[in-house]
Amino acid sequence: MKPITVFSLFGLGLTSAHEEITSDVYQVDEVVVTGKAEDVIGEAATATQGQANREELSQRPFLRRGELLEVVPGVVITQHAGGGKANQYFVRGYNLDHGTDFNISVDGMPANYRTHAHGQGYADLNFIVPEFVQRLDYFKGPFFADHGDLSTAGGAEYTLVPYLEEGIASFSYGENDYYRILLGDSWEAGVGTLTLGGEYTHEDGPWVKGNDYNRYNGFMKWHAGDEENFLSVTALLHDGDWDSSDQIPSRAVEDGTIDRFGAIDDTTGGDTERQTLSMKMKRTEGDFIVRSEAWVGRYALNLFSNFTYFTDPVNGDQFEQDEERIFAGLNVAVDWLHGIGSLQSRSTLGFQTQHDWIDDIGLYPTTATSRTGVTNVDDVYQASYGVYLKNETQVTDWARLIMGARGDIFYFDVESQDNPADTGDKWDAIFSPKAGLVLGPWNETELYLNAGMGFHSNDARGVTAAVDPVDALVRTRGAEVGVRTRAIENVTASVGLWWLDSDSELVYVGDEGTTEAGPASERYGVEAAVYWRPNECLTFDAEYAWSFARADVPNGEFDKIDNAVPHMASAGVTVGGELGWFGSLRGRYFSPRPLLGEDDMVKSRESIQVNGRLGYRWDQLEVSLDVLNILDRKDRDIEYYYESQLANETSPVQDLHYHPAEPRQVRANVTYHW
């Protein structure tokens, strides 16, 4: 299937005011590379910025959908409940819970939800179908003017395929009642190309009471144009329902009360749905490029959890988090080439706006999923408006200067149904400057210096709360120095030293229905990555990240931050060409970490997971076998230390609670292309 070039769809009529500056030396076009091992010297703005393409993503065996993000160096994905709940994210000394401070978007549309029933920045990626992803761009730190809220630690941008080169049908079957069906194809439709696809997945997992997780995804896209001028309209549908497998108390497993894969409360679970319609456009006219993305969607979540069990000995501690929202937004940016004296320069002016209308976002005490009361219920409208300007100038043959700034205005409007005192509205604004300097290249080596300010918003319900309200916007700061080199043939290596600072760790705690004001924090560390691609059929990669995180507390108090992972590492080898045998072997490690900030004696275990894939390709048919957790290690996906109470206990007990990693399992895959 070939794309159809359509220039007449866009009547913007922009002309260049600087036609004397050619684009032969200085390109405005989007950077398109073929994976992390390829050359981005002269294009990247930081040492820890990169891209993974569709081929690279498709070669990684993974247990959960969110693990696609582990292609980002220094990112670890885990889970503390089963099925369709958003994953846990760890990066740069942050336990990001379900997404806070790591900004994720799909074709420009945000995947994080601000003011969410379960937690600020909640990012559930189960609506993404890997086969329909064209590439994944990632960045680290608050150094990019086009990224604002929830992006202090970094972010990832999924770009979906404009069309499918071939039709695809795939079936997977594995242990623990796992099976998956996928279909997709593209056809010419008018002046463009129409793509339709769908996916169904079922999985029980190893749990005593199976997850009974059912995931449905639909994909429809109409696309016309080429890389320089295009218009696309995309509809995404997602529906998921599951029985949960929350973390369990260590003491209950040790005394035989429950199995390692059992549960104290086996009535927890959830269901979620998401429907979106989005538009993406690009128009190139001389030295000008206009880019825009617009979207509207509906989202709903109903989630039942129980982490403390029976501190209420009559009704138990189960609770329900429920919400339904309409969300919409728009991004518009204009890039243009121009001159600053005799220097060649590129500037971008952009506008971004995002709106959420949330009905009945609530927290309820429940027993076996039946409501027994009301903790809080609110209607929320939240809006943000951001303008940014960035400029990149080739100061000399060996120096690029990157300057940027953005201004953001937020509006929070909360109508409390249970406590009129919490009803209110608030405006707030913040200004965030950015700067970077790239030196080189010398011997295919560049040096990067970056600094910038960022921010994250807090839950609207905490902003308007009558008692102990929190700041609407929290200032963050960052700096990074790094180097990237391709001095050795077929090898790309990078090292980055980074620092992050936040005025407050303020978050809305959805599990408790309260807002907690944490102290300021500081984090710093180093990330290193090496990619070796001796030929098109063989790739090696290795990545390591070390971080140190501390809370800014009075002298003499303990300052470590709970669940801040100090060491992460991953490595892998991929072999195979277009036809014949192929395979992949990947390993991931994250180290013990503090679980109780004021007591460094309580730490988690280390985790080592190794996954592999072996397969064979013919012209149209591909078969493969995935083996997950090859070493069959009894690791723990997530660990916490807090008080809980079992049915036979008279008072709460401090204990370690964990979600066990799934045991070794095998999955077979068959894919046919036409």
Where are the chain's structural domains? 50-263+293-313+330-337+347-439+446-673
The pLDDT of residue 272 is 97
Q: Region 405-427: what's the mean pLDDT?
A: 97
Distance CA 463, CA 458 (A): 7
Q: What is the pLDDT of residue 215?
A: 97
- 16 band by pLDDT with thresholds 50, 70 and 90: very low
At residue 557, the pLDDT reads: 63
Residue corresponding to tokens 């700096």:
479
Cβ(148)–Cβ(390) below 8 Å: no
pLDDT at 385: 98
Provide, rounded to the nearest whole percent, the portion of the chain with pLDDT above 70: 91
- List the structure tokens of 560: 């470590």
50-263+293-313+330-337+347-439+446-673: CATH number: 2.40.170.20
pLDDT band at 509 (very low <50, low <70, confident <90, very high): low
Percent pLDDT > 90 in the chain is: 82
pLDDT the model gives residue 602: 87
Least confident range from 82-91, 285-294, 443-452: namely 82-91
Q: What is the DSSP letter of 165?
A: S
What angle (nearest 5°) sits at the alpha carbon of residue 332, between those of residues 329 and 335? Answer: 160
Question: Could you read off the pLDDT of 350-405 as tens digits, one per residue?
Answer: 999 999 999 999 999 999 999 999 999 999 999 999 999 999 999 999 999 999 99
82 pLDDT tier (thresholds 50, 70, 90)? confident
Residue 542 Ramachandran class (φ > 0 left, ψ -120 to 50 alpha, else beta): beta
pTM: 0.92
Q: Which of 97-106, 170-179, 557-566 has the highest mean pLDDT?
A: 170-179
Q: Which residue has the higher pLDDT, 396 or 561?
A: 396
- 515 band by pLDDT with thresholds 50, 70 and 90: low
pLDDT over 50 at 606, yes or no: yes
φ, ψ of residue 65 to 5 degrees: the values are: -60, -40
Q: What pLDDT, in 10s, does the model give residues 626-668?
A: 999 999 999 999 999 999 999 999 999 999 999 999 999 999 9
164 vs 596, which has greater pLDDT? 164
- Per-residue pLDDT averaged across 594-621, rounded? 90
For residue 518, the model assigns a pLDDT of 75
The pLDDT, as a whole number, for residue 37 is 61
- CA nearest 86: which of 32, 126, 38? 126
pLDDT tier at 466 (50, 70, 90 boundaries)? very high
Mean pLDDT across the chain: 91
Given a contact cutoff of 8 angstroms between Cβ atoms, the answer to whether 585 and 612 are in contact is yes
Mean pLDDT, rounded, for 72-82: 89
CA–CA gap between residue 278 and residue 327 (Å, rounded)? 11
Specify the pLDDT at position 505: 77
Res. 12: pLDDT tops 60: no
Cβ pair 367, 318 in contact under 8 A: yes
Confirm if 382 and 413 have CB atoms less than 8 A apart.
yes
Pairwise pLDDT comparison (219 vs 596), residue with the higher score: 219
Q: Give 245 or 274, the one with higher predicted confidence.
A: 274
**Residue 188: its pLDDT value, please?**
96
CA distance 160 to 190: 21
Residue 15 pLDDT > 60: no
- At residue 510, what are phi and psi to the nearest 5 degrees? -65, -30
